[in-house]
Structure 1
């Protein structure tokens, strides 16, 4: 096993769980919102110069950061979605086991 790879069901003895499309989409959406929030904070930290968009730019910065987050997540994101999906699956397995 590669030390950087995650343990698989064959190495852990667990049965593999196939994530539902709904859970996978939830994880991707979470990552998109997270990236959108990060880009919004980055955009707020930039000082406006002589060529700023004025009041209109300030109004639509939130929309821009939301769309940037969605676009970045659609292209693969930061690698957060697989980890979120793993946690969703663990939570669902725990709920189905009565924990």
Structure 2
């Protein structure tokens, strides 16, 4: 039995590479926005209507979801700037 020890490696095309760069830039912008929202006090319980320990534990998920929705709606332009910078770096220019 003859087996081929060389495995073919699939190299992603430019469209797949650009899509992965854009996704990474959007994830970074969402993380940045989530931290900004946390610093602004979003997700903190209000004294009069606090939800207790459960609210404290799940507020970070709410802040992250809101940050992701902000990025989907266009964000603050950070993802676009990062994408172009990463694209230039990957092209070697």
**Above 0.5 in TM-score?**
yes
Question: Which structure: larger Rg?
Answer: 2
C-alpha distance in 2 between matches for 1:21 and 1:90: 14
> 1:43 aligns to what?
41
Match of 1:21 in 2: 19
Q: Is the 8 A contact 1:43 1:61 kept in 2?
A: no
- RMSD after superposition: 2.6
Other structure's SS at 1:20 match: helix
Look up the match of 1:57: 55
What is the correspondence of 1:1-99 to structure 2 with a 5 Å cutoff?
Answer: 20-43=18-41, 48-94=46-92
- Structure 2's unaligned 5+ residue stretches are 1-13
Question: What is the rounded CA distance, in whole Å, between the counterparts of 2:43 and 2:51 in structure 1?
Answer: 15
The question of whether the paired residues in 1 share the 8 Å contact of 2:30 and 2:67 is answered with yes
Q: Which residue of 1 aligns with 2:5?
A: none
Paired positions, count: 79
Pairwise CA distance, 1:47 = 6.6
Q: Which sections of structure 1, spanning at least 5 residues, go unmatched? A: 1-16
- In structure 2, do the counterparts of structure 1 residues 45 and 23 end up closer, same or farther at CA, with 3 Å as the change threshold? closer
Q: How far 1:74 moved relative to its partner? A: 0.7
Q: Is the 8 A contact 1:40 1:61 kept in 2?
A: no
TM-score (norm: length of structure 2): 0.69
